Amino acid sequence: MSTQRNVNRREAGMTLLEVMVAVTILVIVMGTLFQLAVGLGDTAQIQEIKMTSGDEARKAMIYITRDLRQAAAGTMVGAPGATIAYRVATDLDGNGVAVDVGGTLELGNLHTIRRDNEDLNEDGVTDDQLIVTDGDAVQVLANDLLEDEDKNENGVLDPGEDANLNGVLDRGVWFERSGNAVRVTIQTQGRSRQGHLLTSRLSETVLPRN
pLDDT band at 5 (very low <50, low <70, confident <90, very high): low
For 33-54, what is the mean pLDDT? 74
pLDDT band at 46 (very low <50, low <70, confident <90, very high): low
- CB of 206 closer than 8 Å to CB of 191: no
pLDDT tens, position by position, 87-143: 998 888 888 888 888 888 899 999 999 999 999 999 999 999 999 999 889 999 999
- CB of 89 closer than 8 Å to CB of 105: yes
**Residue type at 178 in one-letter notation:** S
Range name among 50-59, 127-136, 140-149, 180-189 with the lowest pLDDT average: 50-59
The CB-side HSE value for 41 (13 A sphere, CA atoms) comes to 8
pTM recorded for the entire structure: 0.75
